[in-house]
Structure 1
Amino acid sequence: MFKGIIAAMLITSGYFYTSQTDTAEASIKRGKAVYTANCQSCHMAEGQGIPGAFPPLAKSDFLMQDQKRAIGVVLNGLNDEIKVNGQTYHMQMPSHAFLTDQQVADVLTFVQNNWGNKAKPVTPAQVKELRKK
C-alpha cells in the first residue's frame, strides 16, 4: 500500500512526465550549441540581428509564420527580399545543408522557443522530408 501511495504521488506530481518536455528541452540545449557555432555571428547572441543587414530571430514574425519555410531557409539559404517585423531585408544567407537533420531540428527548436518566440519542436523527420524536395 505504501508503494502505491508513493507511486501515485510521483505520477500526479509530474515526476514521470518526461517524453515531450524532456525531448524539447534536450533539443533546445543542443540547438543553442548549433546556433552559437553557426548563426550567432549574423543574428547575434540574443537573436536581435543587425538592423538593415541581418534580420532578427527574436520575436520574428517571418520566422514564426511557417515552420516548413524556416526549415527550407536553413537547408537552402536565402537570397531574396523579405520583411521581418515590418522592416525589409535584402540579404544573402548561405545554405546550412551541411548540418544533420537533428542539428537543423535542434537549432530551429532553439530559436523558435527563445527571445519571445514559442512553437512546437521541429523534428528530424520534418527536416528529412523537406531535404528530399
Structure 2
Amino acid sequence: MNKIVITVLGLVLLLGASSFMQDPKKASITRGQEVYVNYCQSCHMEKGEGVDGSFPPLAKADYLMKDPKRAINIILKGQNEEIRVNGKVYNMMMAEQSYLTDEQVADVVNYISNSWGNSYKTLITPAMVKATRPKE
C-alpha cells in the first residue's frame, strides 16, 4: 500500500512540476509579443497587416516565411531597398533596431513567424541573433 501511495504522490509531483516548465518556443513567443507591441506594432499594425504602400505586412508574409532569419538581419541592420511581399512591392526605409538585445530580437522573430497565419518550426535563438549581429 505504501508503494502505491508513494508512486501516486510521485506522479502528482511530476505532473505538477511539468506544468511549471514551459516550452522554450512558447515562452519566447510570449515575450516576443511584448517586444512587438513596444517596437513594431506602430508601423506593422496590431495583427501584422502592415500599411498598404508603406509598411509591408508580416501576417502570412511570403517574404518572411522563405527565411525568417532574414527578419533578424532587417531588425539589426535596417532595410532600405525594394522588397516584394505577397505580390506587392514595398520600397520603405526601416531603421535598424540594433539597441534590442539578442533575446528580444529572437523573441520578436519567433512571435512574428508564428502569428497571424505564419508557422515556422525552427526556434530562433539569441545565439543565432548574436552570430548575425554586425561586429563593432
TM-score, normalized by length of structure 2?
A: 0.84
Percent identity over paired residues: 48
Q: What's the CA shift string for 1:94-115, capped at 9, x where partnerless?
A: 1000100000000001111110
Larger proportion of strand: 1
* Two-structure CA RMSD over aligned residues (Å): 2.2
Q: Which amino acid aligns with 1:110?
A: Y
From the CA coordinates, give the structure whose radius of gyration is larger: 2
Is contact 1:102–1:123 with CA below 8 Å preserved after alignment?
yes
TM-score, normalized by length of structure 1?
A: 0.86
Is contact 2:68–2:113 with CA below 8 Å preserved after alignment?
no
Q: Which of 4, 7, 28 is equivalent to 1:4?
A: 7
SS of aligned partner of 2:93: strand
Structure 1 segment 28-107 matched on structure 2, within 5 A: 28-107=29-108
- Displaced runs of 4+ in structure 1, greater than 3 A? 3-11, 15-19
Q: Which runs of 5+ in 1 are unaligned?
A: none
Is contact 1:55–1:84 with CA below 8 Å preserved after alignment?
yes
Q: What's the CA shift string for 1:24-62, capped at 9, x where partnerless?
A: 111111111111111001000000001111100000011
Q: Which runs of 5+ in 2 are unaligned?
A: none
